[in-house]
Structures are given as structure tokens and as C-alpha cells.
Chain A
Amino acid sequence: QTTWNMATPYPEAEFHTQNINQFAQDVNKLSGGELTIKVHSGQSLFKHPEIPRAVRSGQVEIGETIMSNLSNQSPLFQVDSIPFLVTSYDSARKLWDGQRPFVEAYLKDQGMRLIYAIPWPGQGFFTKKEINKLADLEGVRFRTYNSTTEQMARLMKAVPTTVEAVEIPQAFSAGIVDAMVTSAATGLRTEAWEFADYYYDIQAWMPKNMIYVNERAFQRLSPKAQQALIDAGKEAEVRGWKLSEEVFSDTTAQLKGKMNYQLPSEELMKGLAQIGDVMTATWAEAVGPDGEKMLAPLR
């Protein structure tokens, strides 16, 4: 009988966490009670950026991280948040197919093992004013939170403005930022209609959360428990992708009733797609031949 601790960054109410709770139950059942996973949600053990280190060095046996947090670590995680590269669950699946072997190899190299990954619902633009074409974004104070969003804002000729997540409502109300990119789900939870007027359902990108374990801890498990973990992970991946889609349609529908919901104009999408192409090309060049392999299923 083994008990594992799992560090996760998101709160209980998040669908990722609920999926993880189900996964933990499945592992326990499939292993015949041999392996119990205690889920510590909401950064209650480690802050989000510390979780990969914690799993790598065995401080916890298993953890969850949003891949784009590791963008500086390796460009293969950065592809997750390149805008306008992936705009549907279908293409997200293809990107993940191309990405997966590389993520597995990266984690293996660090003494870790990938279990599964689930995308967030597509990211849209929350803005104060109407955006019909790319030029409308010029000079808009656009919230950025990492190098990819910063680069995107610059290419859109917007003013990149870093604001921490918890300060978004106040920053919008006081005019520190005029626009941000996030999912309908997050917009709903933070009651974005209180401070923003328009929601553009762009599905700019679909970043993924990955669940991974410490390899040494994995090797110490009995074959039965190892298999339980792998099987439960496979189920969790299938369930999580479906859940993500459900959350996407649910939250988008709810948001429609709360604020000015817009599908982006063709002109806007064309402009954004160009920016996506520039960023994809820059990325592919930096990565080299591996980049093409990762994108192959998408092409």
C-alpha cells in the first residue's frame, strides 16, 4: 500500500481538478487499493512555478502544470500558446499528437513521466471597445503575462501591459488595461462583464495542462499499480478532452447572456492569422527540424 501526494495549481471548482479527483479515484480502484493519490489542489503545497521542480526531485510523486509555464525551459512547450495556430479541438488534438513524443522525451530526460494532458477551452478576447479589424487593436492596452502574449501584443501594435491575474478587475476598471485574452470560463468566473464590454470568441489558442509523475517513484510501484496509473490516465485524458469541450460550450452559452458576445469578423481573423503565421515561423526557426515534426499532423 502506497500513498502519493499530488500538487495541483488550480482550485477544486476547476474542471481540471475535478477530472484529477476522478483520476485519483480510478487509480485507487484499478490498483486494488494499492495506490492512493492524495490531491492537494489550489497551490496548497507548492506555488504553481515550483511544481515541476517538486515532482522532479520527488518532493511530491505527481503534479499538474500548465505547459506554457515551461516555455522558457523548452520551446516545445511554447508551441502550446502560439496564437491562432490551433483554433478547434480537432486541431488541438493534432498538435498534441505531434507534440506528445517530444514532451515525453523532455520529461524522461528530467526523470519524470507524462501521464496525460488536457486542453483549456479556447481563449477569446475580452475588450472594452469594439474590435472589427486588426487596426482597432493599435494602441489598446493589452494584458500580457508571458513572453508569448507579450510578443503577440507587440505584433498587434497593442501596448503590452503586464497585470497579475488577481488584479485584472481593478486594472480594467481603472483603465490600466483595455483588453485581455482568456477563456470564456475564466471570464465567467471573474465576472468579466463587470469591467469589459465585448467578448470575441476567437479561440486564439488552447493551452494544455499536463499531469506527470516522478519516474523513480513510478518504478518503485508494483506492475499492477503502474498499469493502474497508465490506464486511469488514458481514461482521464479521454474524459478531460470531452469535459473541456463541454465547459467550452456551457461557459460560452452563459457568457452570451451576460455580455456582448461577438464572433470575430473575417477581416480581424485574417489579420490575426497573419500574426499567428509570423509567430509560428519564428518559433519553427528557433526549434529547427523538431518543430516541423511537431507541426506535421497539423499541416
Chain B
Amino acid sequence: MDVSLIGLIVAVMMLFLLASGVWVAVTLMSVGLISMLLFSHAPAATIQATVIWGQSSSWALTALPLFIWMGEILYRTRLAQDMFEGLSPWLARFPGRLIHINVVSCGIFAAVSGSSAATTATIGRITVPELLKRGYHESTVIGSLAGSSTLGFLIPPSIIMIVYGVAADVSITRLFIAGVLPGAMLMILFSGYLAIWSLLNPSKTPPPEPSVPILQRIRETAKLLPIVLLMIAVIGSIYAGVATATEAAAVGVVGALAIALVTGSLTKQSFIDSVLGATKTSVMVSFILAGAAFLSTAMGFTGIPRELSAWVGSMGLSKFELLIALTLLFVVLGCFLDGISIVVLTAAVIMPITQQAGIDPVWFGIFLVVVIEMSQITPPVGINLFILQSITDRNLWEVAKAAFPFFMLLILAAVLLIVFPEIATWLPNTIRQ
């Protein structure tokens, strides 16, 4: 059967199951199983168990539950409130005020965590309840978190850059360095958008808090101390050689427990609550990732992503047209598959095509990450959207709508990368002279 027809059937099947209200992870797993049974001769049953076991027992994923746990511990402390009180006098005159907090904290957290799912879950648990309590516009709060959490992939360390670097034979260190400036650019784009949005919608921003005298301002600022110390401990542990990037999550948990202990919010009950809360979220995310991994393998057997990529490659496009076509391809695939699967499934075909077109592999890696980041926030299958759904208890449509402006900003970032490739290539080329 024609691959594009198979692709269409798979897409319709997935949309139908999701729309009927079948759990997301169950849908991914079932679509994988059914499409393998229908469109390949491979023994779907044994493959299902093998792939899901391999995915779920992977050491590389252990940072995810630990970061989620860290978020749960901090959520039960005064940390978020203190952080907001410490920052708000300083942001009083800035358009949008505390609404920028998602962008800033995701940017900082992204320097520790390699995954955007962990970024969404951890930061969201801390900032969202506090922002909503202070009367910030809900959809903008959710959207800015959805957008900013994708920084988890662009600012090093980054799981997806590691996957790309291995598949495309590009130095991972170089990719990491190349991601820094585009990451900063995205933060500016997001914050700039939020500032402009706030100026245009003054009624949707809560009234400014009363101005405080300088002495009190300094006293309030001292409340930032715990979070600053925690950040220094986690990031510092990596650079001081105490922990590897994966282990840093455990340092974060210890630090969060210390903060909870010192501030008196650590009780037996709050500890148990934090563990159980983290278990629920982490199980939910791991289950979706397991389903996605199996779907990804099933797609590998059916050959859909590979043949679609080969088809794009066979069209004889110019360099610019090729980039546009690949962006469209990834956005479409990104509606149904998660980012890492897309890289793994298409790399073998895409890399020779881009090489032939004379595209710098480091630059392409960064471009790819930006495009893949979009897939994290597009419905129906967008991992960040699902986590946000769980944090905010809003439905997928509302969350996706809130994320849409930030999806557009990611497209803008991709365009800027095409027009000014130096954004990605300047730093690695300068450092390595």
C-alpha cells in the first residue's frame, strides 16, 4: 500500500481515538500496535514489550522524576511566594511585570535540565499557581510556560542535541555551545512579545502592587536568597565536577529538601505528599513517553517517516526550499510524534540530503531543535501540552490555544536562523579558533 495512504490512516486513527477520550498514552501505544499489525509483518506483540521495557528502564530518563519531585517539594514551601515577593518590586515598572517569570525561570532551569518535559513540570508546579493567585491573565500564563519550557531543548544540556549529535555525527559540545545564543534570542522574543502584549492589554494585567521604599525593597529581595542558592548548588554541582548533568537533578532534590527543612515546611506528611504527587506526574509522563517510543518503533517498521523524508529529498529543491519543506515535514510529523522520535526516525535519510545541499550540520542541528520544539506544543500530540493540561486542569484545546502565539514566535525564530545563520554558528566558531 502507498505510504502516504498508510500515514493518513494512522493519523485518522489517532485523531479518532484521542477525540473519543482514550487516554493519550493508551492511544499512542494502541496506534503503534494496530498499525504494526496492519502494515508490517513484524511480530507486534513481542516488539511492544521489548521497546517499552527498553524505553522505561533507561538511565538517561532518571533525571525526569527527580526534577518533578524537586518541583513538588518546592511547591509545598514558601519558595514561590518569596521569589515573587522578592522580584516584584524590581519588575514594577516593566511592562507585564511578573508575567516574565516563566521565561526567566525556564531559561535558568533549562541550563540544568536536558528535557523540555521536565522543565514544564518543574517550573509549572512552582510558578503557575502563584501567578494565577496574583491575578495574571490565565491564558498568557499557560502560553508563556508552554513556549518557554521548550527552551529545555535549546539551552544546553539537551537530550535532543545528544540524539541529533550521535545520529548526524556532529560534536555534541559544539551543538551545546551553538544553542546558547539562539536560546537567549528566544527568551528575548518571548519576553518582548509578553511586554508588547501587556502594553496592548493593560486591563488583563493585575494592578501594580504599591511601590515600596528602598529599605523594604532590599529586605524583600533577601527573600530570593534560597532560590538563588538552590540554582547555584545545582548548576555549580555540574561545573565543579560534583555531579554529571543527569545527577544534578538529585542535587536539586537534596537542595529542595534542605530549603523545606530550614523554612519549616518539611513535615512527615508534606514529604509523603511530595513523593506521591511526584509519582503521579512522573508515571503519567513516563507512560506517555513509553507509548510514544513504541509508536516511534512501529513507524520505523512501517517506514512512513523515512519515506516521507526521502520524498522531500527527491524533489530536487534549492537549499532554501529544502529548509521550508523540511520545516513543514517536521511540523506535520510533530503533530503526531514526539521530538526525539522524529530525529531518530528521519536522521538516516535527512542527514545525507542536507549534506548534499551544503547545509552546515551544526547550524542544522540548532534549526532542527527549534523546529522540533514546536512539536512539543502542537496538538493533538504535544508532550508539553499534556503536562500543562495536568498542571492547570484546562482542556487540550485551551492549552494549545494559549500556546499558539509562542508557536508563531518559534516559527519567527526559525526564520531568523535562516536569514542570520550566524546566530547559531558565530559562538562555536569563535570559541574554537
Direct A–B contact present (CB less than 8 angstroms):
yes
B149 at the interface (CB under 8 A from A): no
Q: Is the CB of A12 within 8 A of B167?
A: yes
The stretch of A90-98, A170-178, A222-230, A276-284 that contacts the partner chain: A170-178
Known contacts A42-B348, A44-B300, A58-B43; A171 and B244 CB within 8 A of each other? yes
Q: Is the CB of B303 within 8 A of A38?
A: yes
- Pick the residue among B47, B244, B352 that contacts A176 (CB under 8 A): B244
Contacts of A49 in B (CB 8 A): 54
Tell me the chain A residues, 179-232 only, with Cβ under 8 Å from chain B.
Answer: 189-191, 194
A107 at the interface (CB under 8 A from B): no
Contacts of A167 in B (CB 8 A): 244-246
- Closest Cβ of chain B to A259, distance in Å, is 14
Q: Is the CB of B172 within 8 A of A40?
A: no
- Pick the residue among B172, B297, B345, B351 that contacts A46 (CB under 8 A): B297
B197 at the interface (CB under 8 A from A): no
**Nearest B-chain residue to A175, judged by Cβ:** B241
Q: Is the CB of B50 within 8 A of A53?
A: yes
Contacts of A14 in B (CB 8 A): 169
Chain A contact surface mostly: loop
Q: Complex formed: what's the CA distance from A49 to B241 in Å?
A: 29
A298 at the interface (CB under 8 A from B): no
- Pick the residue among B168, B171, B246 that contacts A11 (CB under 8 A): B168
A59 at the interface (CB under 8 A from B): yes
A246 at the interface (CB under 8 A from B): no
Q: Is the CB of B244 within 8 A of A170?
A: yes
Q: Is the CB of B47 within 8 A of A174?
A: no
B419 at the interface (CB under 8 A from A): no
Known contacts A12-B167, A54-B50, A60-B42; A40 and B174 CB within 8 A of each other? no
Interface size class of B (residues with CB under 8 A): 35 or more
Q: Complex formed: what's the CA distance from A194 to B174 in Å?
A: 10
- Pick the residue among A3, A54, A174, A191 that contacts B174 (CB under 8 A): A191
Q: Is the CB of B54 within 8 A of A13?
A: no
Contacts of A60 in B (CB 8 A): 42
- Closest Cβ of chain B to A12, distance in Å, is 5
A146 at the interface (CB under 8 A from B): no
- Pick the residue among A38, A43, A59, A163 that contacts B50 (CB under 8 A): A59
Q: Is the CB of B58 within 8 A of A43?
A: no
B173 at the interface (CB under 8 A from A): yes
- Pick the residue among B41, B54, B166 that contacts A50 (CB under 8 A): B54
Tell me the chain B residues, 211-261 only, with Cβ under 8 Å from chain A.
Answer: 238-242, 244-246
Q: Complex formed: what's the CA distance from A175 to B238 in Å?
A: 10
- Closest Cβ of chain A to B39, distance in Å, is 13
- Closest Cβ of chain B to A144, distance in Å, is 14
Q: Is the CB of A164 within 8 A of B60?
A: yes
Q: Complex formed: what's the CA distance from A175 to B240 in Å?
A: 8
Contact with A along B330-357 (1 / 0, CB 8 A): 0000000000000011011001100000
Q: Is the CB of B345 within 8 A of A44?
A: yes
Q: Complex formed: what's the CA distance from A41 to B303 in Å?
A: 13
Q: Complex formed: what's the CA distance from A164 to B46 in Å?
A: 28
Q: Complex formed: what's the CA distance from A171 to B172 in Å?
A: 13
Contacts of A54 in B (CB 8 A): 47, 50
B404 at the interface (CB under 8 A from A): no
Q: Is the CB of B347 within 8 A of A164?
A: no
A169 at the interface (CB under 8 A from B): yes
**Nearest B-chain residue to A194, judged by Cβ:** B173
Q: Is the CB of A11 within 8 A of B50?
A: no
B59 at the interface (CB under 8 A from A): yes
Known contacts A57-B46, A59-B50; A44 and B344 CB within 8 A of each other? yes
B292 at the interface (CB under 8 A from A): no
Q: Complex formed: what's the CA distance from A44 to B345 in Å?
A: 6
Contacts of B399 in A (CB 8 A): none
Contacts of B46 in A (CB 8 A): 57-59
Q: Complex formed: what's the CA distance from A288 to B169 in Å?
A: 42
Q: Is the CB of B351 within 8 A of A12?
A: yes
- Pick the residue among B54, B166, B173 that contacts A169 (CB under 8 A): B173
Q: Is the CB of A166 within 8 A of B172?
A: yes
A45 at the interface (CB under 8 A from B): yes
- Closest Cβ of chain B to A196, distance in Å, is 13
Q: Complex formed: what's the CA distance from A243 to B382 in Å?
A: 43
A47 at the interface (CB under 8 A from B): yes
Contact with A along B168-201 (1 / 0, CB 8 A): 1101111000000000000000000000000000
Contacts of B47 in A (CB 8 A): 54, 59
- Pick the residue among B42, B53, B244, B301 that contacts A163 (CB under 8 A): B244
What is B's interface to A at a CB cutoff of 8 Å?
41-43, 46-47, 50-51, 53-55, 58-60, 157, 162, 166-169, 171-174, 238-242, 244-246, 297, 300-301, 303, 344-345, 347-348, 351-352
**What 3 A-B pairs come out closest when comparing CB atoms?**
A174-B241, A13-B169, A175-B241
**A12-B352, A49-B54 are known contacts; what are 8 more A-B pairs with Cβ within 8 Å?**
A11-B166, A11-B169, A50-B54, A164-B60, A170-B157, A171-B244, A175-B241, A194-B173
- 11 residue pairs of the A-B complex, CB under 8 angstroms, read A5-B42, A12-B347, A43-B344, A59-B42, A167-B245, A170-B245, A171-B244, A176-B244, A189-B171, A190-B172, A191-B173
What is A's interface to B at a CB cutoff of 8 Å?
3, 5, 11-14, 38, 40-47, 49-50, 53-54, 57-60, 163-164, 166-167, 169-171, 174-176, 189-191, 194
